Structure 1
Amino acid sequence: MRMAGSTSDKLANRILRGLVVGIILGVITLVAGPHVPLPEGLQALLEHVGVKSSATLLEAMRGISTVLLDPFGRVFLRLLFFVIIPLVFASLATGVVQLGRPDKLGPLAGRTFALFFLNMAIGVALGLVMMNTLQPGSYIDEATKARLMTEFGGAAQKHVSASASQTGLSLAVIVEMFMPANLFAAVVGSSTARIGDVLPLILFAILVGVVGMSFPDDKRHRLMDSLQMVTDLMTGIVHFALRLAPYAVPCLIYSVLVKSGLDIIKALGVFVLGCAAVMALHLFGTMSVWLKVWTRWSPRAYFAAIKDVLVTAFSTSSSNATLPAALENATDKLNISPSTAGFVLPLGTTMNMSGTALYEGCVVLFVAQVFGVDLSIGQQITLLLLSVLSAVAVAGIPGGSLPLIAGLLITFGIPPEGIGIILGTDRILDMCRTATNVGCDITTAVVVDELTKRAESRTAG
């Protein structure tokens, strides 16, 4: 999610322009490159700097991409990878500690949190069904997948082989995945070329947050401040990395194009259209079912009432920037009680991230398909749960979903460098998932308000 404001808009536009430039140059190279021979002197010069087999322009640019463009793009990606471990821990633990004591919040909190989880889980499930149905990664042939795996896989290939050797998910395997004997060894990883396991870190962060909830208020606030400081520091590094994105994205997409061919553009197009469609299905389909089942609103009248908020969310790409308009709309047009709106909507801005969770699950499955990594049904169910947790953890952190997505890729043995393939398409999907997040927040507030009023009526009667 990006922060609202001209600075982030300019950055997003520069990244989008960089994507277009990278695609145009890549297509030109693919079309003309095989027919443009290189002079022998230039071939010798390129061989001197490590670029081999450069009889044509296309072969030369593939070599230059490996020697020059990929390392530059890797600087951007590695800055994101740096923050994965501390960001996952601090942001998720902070989110749990901030809940305070749920037993004191009563039925309002119980209904709210239950609907938040249900909303995000349904969103991710729809996204995974879409990805398994459309199979956008299948638009890339097997030879290209093998080349991509060789190019980007590295140490992650060993992880894939190790995962493939497992007989399946059993209770013992699940315990080992989430609760290794040595937490820090598992999190740190076995080599500098591979990030450690994220699953035990997530469990540890949740445990820290749950214990922190029981602290007295003064100690709990000190813990929250410390964790928030770590989150802010990691967010600053993410911001720094994003400043490189307008230059790294065209390098990454150009490199992928000249090595993979035009198939990657088809795959990305299907991926973007599929994600946008399933987000619209979740917002206007799932939420319509909720309205029919739990409220007196007709979907047509309801979405007409909140259309201004959805447009604001879509145009700003920021749930935080849309919150004032959402609060006003909830009380004035939807007649939600101020107490319910004041509790559910601000909390939803940081916790109810169905569009983000849906997107994370789709990205992981798409990159897995591109690299030819098959995720079983059990692994996809685990992905669903982790996408929900990750979406909560990165809420309100500009660009923070990128390192968390990388962490999910690592968890399932998929080369994290694969996120470079989808970076340029993030702008339009960011707008779509923000509108989905906000629309689902308001719908949840409507449902919670209706259920609360019914419960109060029964009690009074």
Structure 2
Amino acid sequence: MSLATRILWGLVIGIVAALATLGVGQWHAPTLAFMQRVSSAVFDPLGQVFLRMLFFVVIPLVFSSLASGIVQLGQLNRLGPLAGRTFALFVANMVVGVAIGLVLMNLLQPGQHIDPITTQKLMAEYGGSALQSVRTHAEQPSLSLGLLVEMFMPRNLFGAVVGNNRGVIGDVLPLILFAILVGAAGTQLSPDKRQRLQDGLDLITELMTKIVDFALRLAPYAVPAMIYSVIVKVGLDVVLALSVFVVGCLLAMTLHLFGTMSLWIALLARKSPWTFFKQIRPVLVTAFTTSSSNATLPTSLAIAQEELKLRPTTSGFVLPLGATMNMSGTALFEGCVVLFVAQVFGVELSLATQVIMLLLAVLSAVAVSGIPGGSLPMIAGLLVTFGIPPEGIGIIIGVDRILDMARTAVNVGSDIVTAQIVDDSLKRAEARNGRA
């Protein structure tokens, strides 16, 4: 079997085994408790080995691929069309995603299906995590020009990129800006020096891609371990209590990824959606199981060049930016959560208010870190903005891990779609100019 098929089979085996364990746990609770301990002691570390091998290469890979992509442009004025198409698709992607989520939440009205007793139970169980998210948001400074400068151009570039002592990847935005500056400066070098710079950057990219190959060999074993652990720990009770909300979110994400994105691929890239999604299966599975756009970036770059045959100039520019800025699944989820919690607490949000929420969800999603659970503080801020009790985020925290996996797949899938469309449109534009 191919690697992608083995990973998918591993995913199915992990889900089936977890559901079987939960079934046994219904009549023999000690078995379930034992398997939860096994998950924490064995399966989680196995998943972390896979995840951290991917995290290892994120920083050098983002820098080398993005800088190399710009250097290969040759002339700096060619960056304009590439960047213009990329950012336009990013914005359109997120706006459409949030709109789909809000429409479904208004149609399904999931907040009307959860009774006050269940609400109180969920708030009591997950309220501590909710308050932590609220405090995290309160500690964040308000948006200003000074903050934007600090976000993109910190005093200590390497300190900002390395992150904290908990092993979490730091701010990728300064690294992206630095890579763009290096690439732009590289285009101004003499041809022989520019070629040496490009060869060096390409060598780093190739080395990091080899490490990604090592990690993917572990994927068929790490993927079932991670999905098993998530389902066994979350349990079915909280999922059933929030079933309408969970189904609504998953349906919205599915419609956006396989509906909107399929239309874009067929109409804008002129490619078969079936063939395209078959080629990017490893990317979607990696995104789903890791819940991290950053961790999936190495796989995305490898698949874009090896399977989709995208030019390094395009994939090296679009995909690192997308992993940081193109958060269509996250924006969709944020809009769904705010509307759902508003329904639970009986807060009416007019159409005009929901349009404003759409715009704010897009802006806040861009600021979300590409790590698991990075959107919760932003959601707390949106709840405060619209006069909804921010502690209400505790209602959905129990199912956030599962939905985090799904929205990361949407985020990463839309990045790949954007790269495919941008690459195709640039090739057609160059062909027209050549004929002219």
Shorter-chain TM-score: what band? 0.5 to 0.7
2:109 alignment partner, one of 127, 135, 139: 135
1:400 alignment partner, one of 374, 391, 395: 374
Q: Is the 8 A contact 2:292 2:372 kept in 1?
A: no
1:330 alignment partner, one of 291, 299, 304: 304
Q: Is the 8 A contact 1:350 1:392 kept in 2?
A: yes
Distance (whole Å) between structure 2 residues aligned to residue 104 and residue 452 of structure 1: 10
Q: Is the 8 A contact 1:319 1:438 kept in 2?
A: yes
Distance (whole Å) between structure 2 residues aligned to residue 376 and residue 318 of structure 1: 33
1:355 alignment partner, one of 321, 325, 329: 329
Residue in 1 aligned with 2:421? 447
Displacement of 1:436 in angstroms is 0.9
Residue in 2 aligned with 1:368? 342
**1:275 partner SS:** helix
Distance (whole Å) between structure 2 residues aligned to residue 342 and residue 442 of structure 1: 11
Residue in 2 aligned with 1:119? 93
Alignment of 1:224-243 (within 5 A): 232=164
Residue in 1 aligned with 2:260? 286
Q: Is the 8 A contact 1:145 1:372 kept in 2?
A: no
Displacement of 1:116 in angstroms is 0.7
Q: Is the 8 A contact 2:292 2:371 kept in 1?
A: no
Displacement of 1:233 in angstroms is 8.8
- Structure 1, unpaired ranges of 5+: 1-12, 25-97, 152-193, 214-219, 239-245, 254-261
1:209 alignment partner, one of 148, 155, 161: 148
Displacement of 1:379 in angstroms is 1.4
Answer yes or no: is 1:222 the counterpart of 2:161.
Answer: no
Distance (whole Å) between structure 2 residues aligned to residue 329 and residue 420 of structure 1: 37
Distance (whole Å) between structure 1 residues aligned to residue 301 and residue 239 of structure 2: 40
Code of the residue aligned with 2:348 in structure 1: it is: D
Distance (whole Å) between structure 2 residues aligned to residue 120 and residue 416 of structure 1: 24
Code of the residue aligned with 1:392 in structure 2: it is: V
C-alpha distance after superposition, 1:339-383 (max 9, x if no partner): 101111111111111111111111111111111111111211111
Displacement of 1:267 in angstroms is 5.6
Residue in 1 aligned with 2:314? 340
**1:422 partner SS:** helix
Distance (whole Å) between structure 2 residues aligned to residue 453 and residue 401 of structure 1: 36
C-alpha distance after superposition, 1:277-325 (max 9, x if no partner): 1101100000011112211211111111112221222122222222222
- Aligned sequence identity (%): 57
Displacement of 1:209 in angstroms is 2.3
Distance (whole Å) between structure 2 residues aligned to residue 128 and residue 359 of structure 1: 9
Residue in 1 aligned with 2:356? 382
Residue in 2 aligned with 1:159? none
Distance (whole Å) between structure 1 residues aligned to residue 283 and residue 136 of structure 2: 41
Residue in 2 aligned with 1:411? 385
- Residue 274 to residue 235, structure 1, CA distance change in 2 (3 Å): farther
Code of the residue aligned with 2:95 in structure 1: it is: A
2:282 alignment partner, one of 285, 308, 314: 308
- Residue 289 to residue 341, structure 1, CA distance change in 2 (3 Å): same
Answer yes or no: is 1:425 the counterpart of 2:425.
Answer: no
- Residue 135 to residue 317, structure 1, CA distance change in 2 (3 Å): same
- Structure 2, unpaired ranges of 5+: 1-14, 27-65, 68-75, 125-133, 171-228
Displacement of 1:421 in angstroms is 0.9
Q: Is the 8 A contact 1:235 1:397 kept in 2?
A: no
Code of the residue aligned with 1:282 in structure 2: it is: H
- Residue 424 to residue 145, structure 1, CA distance change in 2 (3 Å): closer
Distance (whole Å) between structure 1 residues aligned to residue 118 and residue 387 of structure 2: 15
Structure 1 length-normalised TM = 0.56
Higher alpha-carbon Rg: 1
Distance (whole Å) between structure 2 residues aligned to residue 112 and residue 285 of structure 1: 20
Displacement of 1:132 in angstroms is 0.6
Matched residue count? 306
- Residue 425 to residue 332, structure 1, CA distance change in 2 (3 Å): same
Distance (whole Å) between structure 1 residues aligned to residue 161 and residue 351 of structure 2: 35
Structure 2 length-normalised TM = 0.59
